[in-house]
Chain A
Amino acid sequence: MITILDLILRLAVWLLLAPLLPGIINKVKAWVAGRRGPPALQLYYDLAKLWRKGVVMSTLASPGFIAGPAVAWVALTTASMLMPLGPTGSALSFPGDVLLLIYLLALARFCTAWAAMETGSAFEGMGAAREVSYAVLAEAAIVAAVLSLSVQTGSVSLVTMLLPSAGAGAVLLAAGLFTVLLAENCRVPFDDPNTDLELTMIHEVMVLDHSGPPLAAILHGSSVKLLLFAVLLVQAVLPMRELPPLAAAGALLAGVLAVTVGVGLVESLLARLAFRRVPLLLTTAFLLCLFALLVAWKGGAK
Chain B
Amino acid sequence: MSAGTLNLLIGLAMGLNLLALASSRLPSLIRAMSLQGGVLGLMPLIMEHEALDWRVVTVALATMIGKGLIIPWLLRRAMRAANIEREIQPFLGHVPSLLLGAGGTIAAVALARALPLLPEHAGTLLVPGAIASMLTGFILLIGRVKAISQVCGYLILENGIYLFGLLLIHSTPLLVESGILLDVTVGVFVIGIIVDRIQRAFDSLDTRKLTTLRE
* Interface residues, chain A, with chain B CB atoms under 8 Å away: 277, 279-280, 283-284, 287, 290-291, 294, 298
Q: A284 to B21: give the CA distance in the assembly, Å.
A: 11
Chosen A-B contacts, 15 in total, with CB atoms closer than 8 Å, are: A277-B24, A280-B22, A280-B95, A280-B98, A283-B95, A283-B98, A283-B99, A284-B18, A284-B22, A284-B98, A287-B98, A287-B102, A290-B102, A291-B102, A294-B106
Query: How many residues in B have their beta carbons less than 8 Å from beta carbons of A?
Result: 10
Measured between beta carbons, the chain B residues less than 8 angstroms from A291 are 102
* Bound CA–CA A251/B109 (angstroms): 36
Q: How far is the CB of B110 from chain A (nearest CB, A)?
A: 10
B98 touches A294 (CB 8 A): no
- Residues of the A chain whose Cβ atoms lie less than 8 Å from the Cβ of B95: 279-280, 283
Q: B140-156, CB under 8 A of A: which get 1 and which 0?
A: 00000000000000000
Give the residues from 9 to 27 in chain B that come closer than 8 angstroms, CB to CB, to chain A: 18, 22, 24
Q: List chain A residues, Cβ under 8 A from B22.
A: 280, 284
Which chain B residues border A279 with CB–CB below 8 Å?
A: 95
B92-120 to A contact mask, C-beta < 8 Å, 1/0: 00110011001000100100000000000
- Tell me which residues across on chain A come within 8 A of B98, comparing CB atoms: 280, 283-284, 287
Secondary structure type dominating chain A contacts: helix
A284, B24: Cα distance in complex, Å: 14
**Docked complex Cα distance between A291 and B125 (Å):** 14
| CB nearest to B7 among chain A residues | A168
Query: What CA separation (Å) do A279 and B109 show in the bound complex?
Result: 26
Q: Kindly report which residue of chain A lies nearest to residue B123, judged by CB atoms.
A: A302
Instruction: Closest B residue to A283 by CB, please name it.
Output: B95
Query: In the complex, what distance in Å separates the CA atom of A175 from the CA atom of B94?
Result: 20
Closest beta carbon of chain B to A172's beta carbon, Å:
9
Residues of B within 8 A of A283 (CB): 95, 98-99
- Taking the closest CB of chain B, its distance from the CB of A282, in whole angstroms, is 9
Smallest CB–CB gap between A130 and chain B, Å?
17
A291 to B132, CA, bound (A): 14
CB B206 to nearest CB in A, in angstroms, measures 21
Compute how far the CA of A298 lies from the CA of B102 in the bound complex, rounded to whole angstroms. Answer: 16
Task: Tell me the minimal C-beta distance from A199 to chain B in angstroms.
Answer: 23
A277 neighbours in B (Cβ, 8 Å): 24
Chain A residues, Cβ within 8 Å of B106: 290, 294
Q: Which single residue of chain A is at the shortest CB-CB distance from B101? A: A287
The answer to whether B94 and A280 have CB atoms under 8 Å apart is: yes
Q: Which residues of A contact B102 (CB under 8 A)?
A: 287, 290-291
